[in-house]
Chains A and B, each alone.
Chain A
Amino acid sequence: MRNTVKVALQGLDLEVFAGEVFGFLGPNGAGKTTTMNVLLGFVPPTSGKASLFEIDVRQPIARQRIGYLPELTYYYKFLTAEELLRFYARIFGLSRGEADRRIAELLKLVELEHAAKRPIKGYSKGMQQRCGLAQALINNPDLLILDEPTSGLDPLGRMKVREIIQRLKNEGKTVFFSSHEMGEVETICDRVAIVHQGELKAVGKVADISAGHENLEKAFLKIVGFETTPQP
């Protein structure tokens, strides 16, 4: 029995510009998470290179100006939200005063002030997600990488996340996120890229990609090769 090698990404050539909200779309197993893993230095690329702010991703300093929210949010259960944020603030080299200020601000933003001194193990999924968002913003990042940020959230939570993304965009930050929620992507993204089976199928403005289709979802399905049956 021969070992088969799965190619997760093939010839992916992508550039995200400063200040834009970039949607990274694709069906399950398309290579979205692998792309993020490479960008964050979790997985070394077998060939080619990846950079953040023109710094090779293999250098830890490349991550000084980014914030990352994983799809599945797990944090140290024995820490409180405040302790977690203080820990990450220390990693970023924030001074005590600045860390205090940022932590207070973020806890208010994600509405976790009342639970800040409780261990995370007692948090609901939504609270953990909000805690995750706070840690992603602790260093006031210039680039935010979000992996399915609204996954598992209720409509109120999803709205809150959209508001935060919009606010960051207004501040000139760059947001790179993956999602399955086409409605969301259509609303907030400047540009999108669609990957399928490890290959980049399309990249461009939402309007350009949706042109000739009813909406982005229909365009997405067409691009990934799923032919929809015309309604009678």
Chain B
Amino acid sequence: MNTTFALAGVVIKELYRRKDFYVLFVLSALLTLVSGAASFFHDRNIIGYIKDICLLLIWISALIIAVVTTARQIPAEREARTIFPLLAKPVSRWQLIVGKFLGCWLATGLALLVFYVFFAVLVGTRDGHWPLGIYLEAAWMQWLMLAIVIAMVLLGSIHFAAPSSTTTICVSVVVGILILGGHLRQLALLQPEPVQTLLSAVYFLMPHLEWYDLRDFVVYESGIVGGGPLLLASLYAAVWVAIFLILAWLGFRRKSLNT
């Protein structure tokens, strides 16, 4: 575990020493503040659209940070040849995969924490109340979703040629799932066979990332999600993370690394 956390620590250091996070945070904050400065029909108490815009920016930024950071982990190590002195230590390839995953996930989590604190402060000062329960739930679920995405991207980075192709493919898949995932069965039922069976199979076998989007609950203040579904969603995410990491390890463990 020490090795895994040591590897994770290096990933976190890399994130906060690169400019990506700061640029995205400043951009998101600026866009949110500019939107918030607008006045609609001289009513200063409107807050819904600010929440919507800010949460959308948080989702986009966190996804970019997660995917871009993860996609370059192993390929960059190979390209920069830093993987050789690393694997020459008593580090197994499984530990490397898990360490990279943990580092990317914790780094993204830190970024999410900063974003959500900004969001809570902005909305709270304007709105006058602080529904921390739903904020925490929304942040936790988003973090879980990003765990699945990070594990998926790690798997992709083992098999695809370059970080750019991993990023493009994974972002397309994730956005596709978020938009269409919940409706794929509806679409499938309208299709003739064998497309119907194929789409239905994809629907049941794919990770349902759209479950983890609780933005509507935050924007419309529709109460909180129960502990039971939250726990099951967490387990579901853990299972998918394990599947992707094991597949990544299986692909990576026998790969020849020539110095």
Please indicate the chain A residues that have their CB under 8 angstroms from the CB of B17 in the complex.
78
Q: Which of B6, B13, B90, B256 contacts A42 (CB 8 A)?
A: B256
B21 to chain A, nearest CB (A): 13
Binds A, one of B42-50, B76-84, B153-161, B209-217: B76-84
Q: Tell whether B257 is near chain A: CB-to-CB under 8 Å.
A: yes
Chain B contacts of A43 at CB under 8 A? Answer: 256-258
A36, A63, A72: the one contacting B90 at CB < 8 Å is A63
Residues of B within 8 A of A42 (CB): 84, 87, 256-259
Partner pick for B259 among A71, A91, A93, CB 8 A cutoff: A71
* Residue B88 at the chain A interface, CB threshold 8 Å: yes
Asked whether A72 and B256 contact (CB < 8 A) given A40-B87, A60-B92, A64-B90, the answer is: no
CA–CA, A70 to B88, complex, Å? 10
Most chain A CB neighbours (cut-off 10 Å) among B6, B84, B88, B258: B88
CA separation between A63 and B2, bound complex, in Å?
Answer: 16
What B residues does A33 contact at CB under 8 A? 258-259
Which B residues lie within 8 Å of A60 (CB)?
90-92, 95
- Residues on A with beta carbons closer than 8 Å to the beta carbon of B92: 60
Interface membership of A61, Cβ < 8 A: yes
Question: CA–CA, A83 to B9, complex, Å?
Answer: 11
Q: Does A87 contact B (CB under 8 A)?
A: yes
Which of B9, B85, B89 is close to A75, meaning CB atoms less than 8 Å apart?
A: B85
A71–B13 alpha-carbon span in the complex (Å)? 26
What's the tally of chain B residues with a CB closer than 8 Å to chain A? 26
Instruction: Report chain A residues within 8 Å CB of B89.
Output: 63, 88, 91-92
**Cα of A88 to Cα of B95 in the assembled complex, Å:** 14
Structural contact, B85 and A87, CB atoms closer than 8 A: no
* Alpha-carbon distance between A146 and B77 when the two chains are bound, in angstroms: 20
B81 close to A78 (CB less than 8 A): no
Query: CB-CB contacts of A39-83 with B at 8 A, as 1s and 0s?
Result: 011111000000000000000111110101011101111110001
Shortest Cβ gap from B258 to chain A (Å): 6
Q: How far is the CA of A193 from the CA of B87 in the complex (A)?
A: 25
Tell me how many residues of A have a C-beta within 8 Å of chain B.
Answer: 37
Partner of A135, one of B10, B85, B87, B259: B85
Least CB separation from A71: chain B residue: B259
User: Which B residues lie within 8 Å of A63 (CB)?
Assistant: 88-91
Are A91 and B10 in contact, CB atoms less than 8 angstroms apart? no
* Cα–Cα, bound, A90→B6 (Å): 7
Contact with A along B63-107 (1 / 0, CB 8 A): 000000000000000001110110111111001000000000000
- Given the contacts A87-B10, A91-B3, A91-B6, A74 and B82 also touching, CB distance less than 8 Å: yes
Q: How far is the CB of B158 from chain A (nearest CB, A)?
A: 16
A30, chain B: closest CB distance, angstroms: 15
- The answer to whether B258 and A70 touch across the interface, beta carbons within 8 angstroms, is no
- Contact A90-B3, Cβ < 8 Å, known A40-B88, A70-B81: yes
Given A78-B18, A92-B90, also A44-B254 (CB < 8 A): yes
* Residue A37 interfacial (CB < 8 Å): yes
Q: Which A residues are within 8 Å of any B CB, using their own CB?
A: 33-34, 36-37, 40-44, 60-64, 66, 68, 70-72, 74-79, 83, 87-88, 90-93, 132, 135-136, 145, 147
With contacts A66-B88, A87-B9 known, what are 11 further pairs, Cβ within 8 A? A40-B84, A42-B259, A44-B254, A60-B95, A62-B90, A70-B81, A70-B84, A70-B85, A76-B10, A90-B2, A91-B3
User: Which 5 pairs from chain A and chain B are nearest by CB?
Assistant: A68-B88, A90-B6, A42-B257, A74-B81, A60-B92
Residue contacts A-B, CB under 8 angstroms, 13 given: A36-B259, A37-B256, A37-B257, A42-B256, A44-B256, A61-B90, A63-B90, A66-B88, A68-B84, A68-B85, A70-B84, A71-B259, A91-B2
